[in-house]
């Protein structure tokens, strides 16, 4: 099958994470009884137990869905969103505001494209009030060439409410372009594409050694799973192994196994100090299961340092349980510094 022609089925959604908690979290920016979930509502306005946005706030840009826990791939830096016939401004699609909608009755398609391929699991479309999200067609491309259709299996459609529909499917390959068309596009208000949930935040991180600065502040291993992606070492949210460490390493252990499909590393990128971005170049990354058997490893090509590294777990390894992610640095300085490590689990809905 090359296209989804929307067929409405009303389903009860079974989420794998429950928001029913007796007590809340008293730490700003977190929620859940162990403060284990990060708040992604504007101004940290989350209900401390459910994570739902309060005081009329919405999810911050880049996050959506239940308790704003799903990364939105329409907001990653390389995403381009084009609407046809060509609209000069189409920020209504990705502003996270379901009350700003298309105004052009001739709109026939919305295209989301990236410069690398991403794992796809599900997307969410919202339409104007009093319109039914009943006639969408979604198709996927493997590359920039439009003739490279992707075949997919088991697509499912979930009507969330009167103006929201989720479409989930199992893909055999990763996706570089998604084309949304059909009659309902003229009523479209928002497009969200799930990049999954970050399983690494607040998990147990360790490193081979820890650097302590002149004031005695330690650049702890947990700084790479603190939910803060800031690349400035002085903000005290990056890790740093000691100056003398012959084999600098860092790893995170999850409290349960996850099917991770994408790992994102935020490098240190201080604007004035050119010392540091190159320390992460040529790193290696490995994933392990609970018996510490590795099934996936990645070696950076060792060219120019990047602010953000995206490592995609190949489709063939994607359903294997991952309990540990380990990173090693091989730069001449033998220092490993990470500002954040995110590990996305992208299940299809069932
Ligand atoms: C959080 O949400 C729950 C469930 O809806 C509600 O019972 C509780 O009062 C809310 N807490 C706050 C602080 O608003
Ligand atoms: C993709 O786009 C990002 C953000 O614009 C850029 O930093 C990166 O270098 C690009 N990657 C490739 C492979 O072109
Ligand atoms: C796209 O793919 C088709 C069929 O595989 C091929 O004929 C065509 O030359 C390709 N176009 C480009 C721009 O690569
Ligand atoms: C994780 O790091 C700790 C401390 O360096 C080390 O003892 C352990 O073997 C590492 N585990 C894996 C799987 O790399
Ligand atoms: C990259 O790291 C590998 C070890 O994984 C090492 O053998 C190689 O020399 C390094 N390359 C560069 C350019 O530093
Ligand atoms: C870990 O992976 C190895 C190799 O694939 C496998 O034999 C072993 O059963 C796995 N352990 C667990 C706990 O899944
Ligand atoms: C990883 O798992 C795949 C699929 O189970 C298997 O084919 C492959 O041999 C494994 N690789 C390693 C290095 O264990």
Q: What is the dihedral of CA 268, 41, 322, 124, to 10 degrees?
A: -120
Residue 293: how many other CB atoms lie within 10 Å:
10
Tens-place pLDDT, residues 188-239: 999 999 999 999 999 999 999 999 988 889 999 999 999 999 998 888 999 9
Of 114, 75, 138, 40, nearest in space to 312 by CA = 114
pLDDT at 16 (0 to 100): 43
The helix (run of H) or strand (run of E) holding residue 322 is: strand 322-328
Hey, what are 193's tokens? 């594409």
Q: Closest ligand to 148 CA? A: 3
pLDDT at 15 (0 to 100): 39
pLDDT of 9 > 60? The answer is no
Mutate to test the pocket of ligand 7, among 317, 319, 320, 321 (most ligand atoms within 8 A of CB): 317
pLDDT of 180 > 80? The answer is yes
Q: Could you tell me the distance, in angstroms and rounded to a whole number, from the CA of residue 147 to the centre of ligand 3?
A: 7
Q: Could you tell me the distance, in angstroms and rounded to a whole number, from the CA of residue 249 to the centre of ligand 2?
A: 27
Mutate to test the pocket of ligand 4, among 207, 241, 326 (most ligand atoms within 8 A of CB): 326
Q: Could you tell me the distance, in angstroms and rounded to a whole number, from the CA of residue 324 to the centre of ligand 4?
A: 9
Tens-place pLDDT, residues 122-167: 999 999 988 888 889 999 998 877 777 776 666 888 888 889 999 9
Atom nearest to 307 CA in ligand 2: 7
Hey, what are 149's tokens? 């259709």
Q: Closest ligand to 318 CA? A: 7
Q: 């302590």: which residue's tokens?
A: 212
Q: Where are the beta strands (DSSP E) in 194-278?
A: 197-198, 204-207, 249-258, 260-266
Q: What is the dihedral of CA 19, 202, 262, 282, to 10 degrees?
A: 170
pLDDT > 90 fraction of the chain, expressed in percent and rounded: 69
Ligand 1 pocket residue status of 48, Cβ below 6 Å:
yes
Question: In the structure, which protein residues have their CB atom closer than 6 angstroms to any atom of ligand 6?
Answer: 289-291, 293, 295, 321
Q: 């290696």: which residue's tokens?
A: 284
Q: Measured between alpha carbons, how far is 70 from 31 in angstroms, rounded to an integer?
A: 15
Q: What is the mean pLDDT of residues 165-189?
A: 92
Q: Measured between alpha carbons, how far is 299 from 282 in angstroms, rounded to an integer?
A: 7
pLDDT of 291 > 80? The answer is yes
pLDDT of 1 > 50? The answer is no
Mutate to test the pocket of ligand 4, among 242, 249, 284, 289 (most ligand atoms within 8 A of CB): 249
Ligand 7 pocket residue status of 164, Cβ below 6 Å:
no
Higher pLDDT, 104 or 11: 104
3-state helix, strand, coil in the chain (%, to 5): 10, 35, 55
Ligand 4 pocket residue status of 326, Cβ below 6 Å:
yes
pLDDT at 132 (0 to 100): 83
pLDDT at 8 (0 to 100): 37
- Are β-strands 197-198 and 249-258 bridged in parallel, bridged antiparallel, or unpaired? unpaired
Q: Whose CA is nearest to atom 2 of ligand 3?
A: 147
pLDDT at 20 (0 to 100): 52
Contacts of 106 (CB under 8 A, 6+ apart): 85, 186
- Using DSSP's 3-state secondary structure scheme, residue 18 falls into coil
Hey, what are 236's tokens? 């005290």
Q: Whose CA is nearest to atom 10 of ligand 4?
A: 251
Q: Could you tell me the distance, in angstroms and rounded to a whole number, from the CA of residue 294 to the centre of ligand 4?
A: 12
Hey, what are 328's tokens? 């090693």
Q: Could you tell me the distance, in angstroms and rounded to a whole number, from the CA of residue 347 to the centre of ligand 5?
A: 34
Q: Measured between alpha carbons, how far is 204 from 274 in angstroms, rounded to an integer?
A: 30
- Check if the beta carbon of residue 76 is closer than 8 Å to that of residue 119: no
Q: Measured between alpha carbons, how far is 111 from 307 in angstroms, rounded to an integer?
A: 26
Contacts of 84 (CB under 8 A, 6+ apart): 107, 108, 109, 110, 111
Of 140, 146, 202, 149, nearest in space to 342 by CA = 202
- Using DSSP's 3-state secondary structure scheme, residue 138 falls into strand
User: How confident is the prediction for the chain on average, in pLDDT?
Assistant: 89
What separation, in Å, do the N-terminal and C-terminal C-alpha atoms of the chain show?
Answer: 19
DSSP state of 202: T
Ligand 3 pocket residue status of 142, Cβ below 6 Å:
no
pLDDT of 50 > 60? The answer is yes
Mutate to test the pocket of ligand 1, among 26, 49, 51 (most ligand atoms within 8 A of CB): 49
| Winning range, highest mean pLDDT, from 8-22, 69-83, 154-168 | 69-83
| Confidence at 350, pLDDT banded by 50, 70, 90 | low
Q: What is the mean pLDDT of residues 253-270?
A: 94
Please state whether 24 falls in left (phi above 0), alpha (psi between -120 and 50) or beta: beta
């Amino acid at each position: 099958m090359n296209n989804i022609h929307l067929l409405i089925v009303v389903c009860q959604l079974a989420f794998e994470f429950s928001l029913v908690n007796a007590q809340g979290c008293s730490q700003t920016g977190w929620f859940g009884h162990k403060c284990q979930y990060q708040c992604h509502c504007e101004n940290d306005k989350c209900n401390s137990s459910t994570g739902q946005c309060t005081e009329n706030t919405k999810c911050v840009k880049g996050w959506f869905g239940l308790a704003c826990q799903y990364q939105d791939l329409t907001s990653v830096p390389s995403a381009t969103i084009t609407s046809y016939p060509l609209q000069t401004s189409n920020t209504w699609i990705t502003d996270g505001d379901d009350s700003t909608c298309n105004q052009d009755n001739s709109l026939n398609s919305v295209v989301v494209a990236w410069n690398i391929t991403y794992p796809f699991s599900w997307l969410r479309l919202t339409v104007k009030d009093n319109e039914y999200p009943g006639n969408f067609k979604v198709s996927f491309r493997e590359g920039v060439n439009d003739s490279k259709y992707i075949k997919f299996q088991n697509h499912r459609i979930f009507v969330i409410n009167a103006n929201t529909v989720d479409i989930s499917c199992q893909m055999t390959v990763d996706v570089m372009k998604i084309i949304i068309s059909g009659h309902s596009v003229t009523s479209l208000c928002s497009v969200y594409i799930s990049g999954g949930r970050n399983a690494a935040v607040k998990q147990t991180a360790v490193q081979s050694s820890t650097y302590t600065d002149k004031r005695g502040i330690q650049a702890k291993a947990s700084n790479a799973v603190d939910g803060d992606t800031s690349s400035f070492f002085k903000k005290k949210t990056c890790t740093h192994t000691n100056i003398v460490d012959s084999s600098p390493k860092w790893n995170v252990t999850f409290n349960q196994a996850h099917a991770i499909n994408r790992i994102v590393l935020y490098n240190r990128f201080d604007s004035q100090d050119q010392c540091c971005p190159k320390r992460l170049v040529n790193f290696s990354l490995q994933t392990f299961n609970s018996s510490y058997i590795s099934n996936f490893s990645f070696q950076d090509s060792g060219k120019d340092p990047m602010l953000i590294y995206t490592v995609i777990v190949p489709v063939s390894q994607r359903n294997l349980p991952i309990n540990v992610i380990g990173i090693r640095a091989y730069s001449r300085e033998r220092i490993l510094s990470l500002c954040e490590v995110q590990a996305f689990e992208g299940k299809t809905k069932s």
